[in-house]
Amino acid sequence: MKTGLYPGTFDPVTLGHEDILKRACTLVDRLVIGVAINTDKQPLFSLDERVRMVETIGRRIGKESGTKISVHPFSNLLVQCAEEVGARVIIRGLRAVSDFEYEYQMVGMNRSLNAGIETVFLMADAEYQAIASRLVKEIARLGGDVSRFVEPDVAAALYRKHRMVANPGGQ
């Protein structure tokens, strides 16, 4: 069974992430979605919220594709996470040239840490290339329509979260 790891912060999970996830399922028999615990990024959603969002989408895509999908939160090095879950391939999504520069450096470091784990890059479909979680959060914060970028339940969670942040007392 070929196992892949698709890591990310998923704050929140977008249709671009889903696109990569669906296509990653054609490459592996088992896909682990690694939800990064990255305190430097100060995510809007808690780890539990991000895991739940990813699990919901992963269940649906796993059922559609026949791929066994699981979710694994991690805070260690990416190659260590890959080793823990038995992944021989790390799947990364690319949107633009600027993504490639960072990812190129990461691949070099990861290969020096474990040459037995390959990294595969999947280009986001053209309709999803502009979607970035950071921008989706900003649109939602300012009251814009994010329905073209995320699933309806994720959009609802974004709006709820921003209402709570803007009005912490709930009044």
Is 161 known to be catalytic? no
Mark 32-59 as b/e (b = at least 16 C-beta within 10 Å). Answer: bbbbbeeeeeebbbebebbbbbbbebbe
Among residues 17, 50, 137, 161, which one is catalytic? Answer: 17
Among residues 95, 111, 141, 162, which one is catalytic? Answer: 95
R_g of the chain, CA atoms, integer Å: 16
Q: Identify the DSSP state of 69.
A: E
Among residues 30, 50, 92, 133, which one is catalytic? Answer: 133
Is 46 known to be catalytic? no
Among residues 41, 60, 63, 148, which one is catalytic? Answer: 41
Confirm if 136 and 144 have CB atoms less than 8 A apart. no
Is 17 known to be catalytic? yes
Is 68 known to be catalytic? no
Q: Which residues are catalytic?
A: 17, 41, 95, 133
